[in-house]
Amino acid sequence: MISVNSNFKHLISLQLFNITSRALAAIFGGYLVAATACGLFAIIIPLVAVQSALTAMMLSFAVYATAIIWVFSVKHHLLAWRDLLGLSSLFYLIILLVS
C-alpha cells in the first residue's frame, strides 16, 4: 500500500498494545469489579438474603457497563488497570471484613 516508515510502525504497535490492554481491562477487569461489587452489595444491602442477592445481581451489569466505559475514557491504559484492580480489591477486602 504505502511505504511505512519505522516511526509509523512504532506508533501502530503502541496503539495496538494500548487497545489490547484496554480491551482486556474492560472485559476481565470490568468483570472483576462487577463481580466483587455484586458480592459486596449482596451482604451490605439490608434486606432478606434472597432479596439483597437479587438486587445485587440486577445491579451488577450496570456496574460492569460503567467500568467498561471508564476503561475507555481514562488517559492511559495503565490508569484503567490501576482503578479497576484497586476498586475490586477494596470491595473484596470489605467483603472479607463484613462476613
Partner 1 sequence: MKENFFRSMTWLHTWVGLLVCWVLLLIFFAGTMSYYRHDISLWTKPELHQNVIQDYNASKVQSELSKAQRYLSQHANNARDWRISFPTDRKPYLSYSWQTQPEAGQRRGKFIEHVVMQGQDEVITDVRQSKGGNFFYRLHFDLHYMPAKIARWIVGFCSMFMLIALISGIVIHKRIFKDFFSFRRNKGSRSWLDAHNVSSVLALPYHLMITYTGLVTLMAMYMPWAAITAYDGDTKAFRQELKNRPAQVIPLGESAKTIQLTTLLPQINQLFDNKPIRQIVVTNPGDKNSRVSVYKDTGETVTDRRVATIFNAVDGTLLNKGIEPDSAAQNTHDTLIALHTGRFSGPVLRFFFFICGVMGCAMIATGTLLWANKIRQKQHKQINQGEKASFGLRLVEGLNLTFIAGLPLAASVFFYANRLLPIDMINRAQWEANSFFIALTIIALVACFKRTLAVWRYVLALSGSSLIAIPLLNAMTSNSDLLRNINQAQWSLVGFDIMCVVIGVSILFARRKLLSQQLKLPTGRRAATRLKDPIVIQTTATTGKEA
Residues that bind partner 1 (CB under 8 A): 1, 18, 22, 34-36, 38-43, 47-58, 60-62, 64-65, 68-69, 72-74, 95, 99
CA-to-CA separations, 23 to 27, 28, 63, 72, 96, in angstroms, rounded: 6, 8, 17, 8, 29
Nearer to partner 1 among residue 24 and residue 54 (C-beta) = 54
Residue with the three cell numbers 482503578: 83
Nearer to partner 1 among residue 85 and residue 95 (C-beta) = 95
Q: Tell which residue, 96, 99, 81, 98, has the closest CA to residue 32.
A: 81
Nearer to partner 1 among residue 55 and residue 82 (C-beta) = 55
Least distance in angstroms from the C-beta of 20 to partner 1: 12
Residue pair 57/38 in contact (Cβ under 8 Å)? The answer is: yes
Least distance in angstroms from the C-beta of 91 to partner 1: 10
Least distance in angstroms from the C-beta of 61 to partner 1: 5
